[in-house]
Amino acid sequence: MNIVCYGLQWGDEGKGKVTTYLSREFDYVVRYSGGSNAGHTVNYGEFKLVHHLVPSFDIRGNTKAYIANGVVVDLDVLIKEIEEIKKIGFDVYDRINISSLTHIVLPVHKMLDEKLEIAKGEKAVGTTKRGIGPAYADKVHRIGLRLVDLFDKETALEKLKFISKMYKNLYGIEWDDYEILFENFEKLSKLIVPPLEMKEEFKNVNVLFEGTQGVLLDIDMGSYPYVTGSYCNTTGVESGLGFPIKIDKRIGVFKAYVTRVGEGPFPTELFGEEAEKIRIAGREFGATTGRPRRCGWLDLPILRYAIETSGCDEMIMTKADILSGLEKVKVGIRYLSNGRKFEIPNDISMIDKVTVEYIEFNGWKNLEDDNFAKFVDFIERETGLKIAYISTGEKIDDIRKV
């Protein structure tokens, strides 16, 4: 049984926690896109982990992890993360594999990320400046460095010098300190495998694919240009792996409200005190950057769009407990644009020009409250999908099957 667990909004839906919970039933958790710009916080109770590159598998169990070639890897970040987990008392080194075709995020990519954001001025996307976009761009420019290149130091040095030359000439960025890269590679080299070896391995095991960011940040189907640099939609699984695989179920995770980091349209956004209340209660500050997240009401048109775009089979709702105690909870049910009503945007680029029609619910004291049950029923009816699990709190086991 192969499942994809991914975000139906603009990321930060609580996928890391949910994936970790589900991972116990799987042999592998696989990251298929993104890089260290991801920041999944997982609260184990006795300790907390923030996963940037290590897939969200339960480190206390036997599940293994694979970082596929759709991911761009910052070796330094990956090593530090593995070391952090070791300090807590779990050696996951032997449980992780990385595709040999994975592209490496280099210091020049981070420098360029910063420069690009500054040059864009008011049009800045609000990236995490982790070098992810430039690393993907170099992959497409065909000047990227892959893990497989580092097995032959002489060839790797030649490639690195060429990259340095390109960056100096094109962007005025200077970098020639390559040694740390080789040192990091030494530490990770035993984990590197060719993708076809994993294809063979995946024939007889259960795999859980872990989405990063969310469908609305997908490079094609998201709210371009305010998106991430990769195919974080479910469609990215096969391209990220590099070979076809049968997917049995696509489980989309959504928050009972909406948050967004960085710039870009956000039809149900709240401001002032109302937004601040949710931000503080939900601790809506970026796990990678610490930036305050923009907060707003649940937006059904955009949720329906994400469901359609990703082929969602069932959903998991998170963070409804954060809304507990509010007198009223609103949900955006349709958009109005040029005198027309839209249950679902026909094109996501329309969402910066819409007004939103809301429905108001009586708030709930806790998640046992009838008012909450009415909210859940309404979302299931409006989306035509079952909410299979409801996450009820921060920790891994704070979740109930519906």
Residue from 2, 99, 128, 391 in contact with ligand GDP (CB under 6 A):
391
Instruction: Give the separation between CA 231 and CA 219, rounded to whole angstroms.
Output: 6
Structure tokens at 299: 């937006």
Residue from 31, 103, 129, 319 in contact with ligand GDP (CB under 6 A):
319
Tell whether residue 288 is a contact of ligand GDP (CB under 6 A). Answer: no
- The number of residues in the chain equals 402
Tell whether residue 262 is a contact of ligand GDP (CB under 6 A). Answer: no
* Cβ–Cβ under 8 Å, residues 260 and 266: yes
Residue from 2, 16, 111, 297 in contact with ligand GDP (CB under 6 A):
16
Interaction pattern, residues 37-66, with ligand GDP; x per rule: CB under 6 A:
--xxx-x-----------------------
With contacts defined by CB under 6 A, how many residues of the chain interact with ligand GDP? 21
**Per CB under 6 A, which region of 150-158, 197-205, 345-353, 390-398 contacts ligand GDP?**
390-398
Instruction: Say how far residue 76 (Cα) sits from the centre of its chain.
Output: 20
Instruction: Give the separation between CA 19 and CA 190, rounded to whole angstroms.
Output: 26
Say how many C-beta atoms besides its own lie within 10 A of residue 46's C-beta. Answer: 8
Structure tokens at 349: 């680029």
Tell whether residue 14 is a contact of ligand GDP (CB under 6 A). Answer: yes
Give the residue from 318, 336, 342, 309 showing the smallest Cα distance to 222. Answer: 309
Tell whether residue 287 is a contact of ligand GDP (CB under 6 A). Answer: yes
Give the residue from 66, 62, 67 showing the smallest Cα distance to 24. Answer: 62
Which residue, 44 or 224, has its beta carbon nearer to ligand GDP? 44
Instruction: Give the separation between CA 328 and CA 75, rounded to whole angstroms.
Output: 47
Structure tokens at 194: 């060719």
* Closest approach of ligand GDP to the CB of residue 212, in Å: 7
**Per CB under 6 A, which region of 86-94, 331-339, 349-357, 392-400 contacts ligand GDP?**
392-400
**Per CB under 6 A, which region of 22-30, 67-75, 82-90, 315-323 contacts ligand GDP?**
315-323
Tell whether residue 138 is a contact of ligand GDP (CB under 6 A). Answer: no
Tell whether residue 322 is a contact of ligand GDP (CB under 6 A). Answer: yes
| Residues in Cβ contact with 41 at an 8 Å cutoff, skipping those fewer than 6 apart | 16, 17, 48, 49, 50, 51, 287
Residue from 15, 95, 110, 330 in contact with ligand GDP (CB under 6 A):
15
Tell whether residue 12 is a contact of ligand GDP (CB under 6 A). Answer: yes
**Per CB under 6 A, which region of 12-20, 178-186, 196-204, 271-279 contacts ligand GDP?**
12-20
Tell whether residue 394 is a contact of ligand GDP (CB under 6 A). Answer: yes
- Please give the positions annotated as active site: 12, 40
Give the residue from 128, 367, 394, 395 showing the smallest Cα distance to 284. Answer: 394
* Closest approach of ligand GDP to the CB of residue 236, in Å: 16
What is the separation, in whole angstroms, between the first and last Cα of the chain? 20
Structure tokens at 355: 């007004």
Instruction: Give the separation between CA 48 and CA 105, rounded to whole angstroms.
Output: 26
Contacting residues toward ligand GDP, per CB under 6 A:
7, 11-17, 39-41, 43, 287, 318-319, 321-322, 391-394
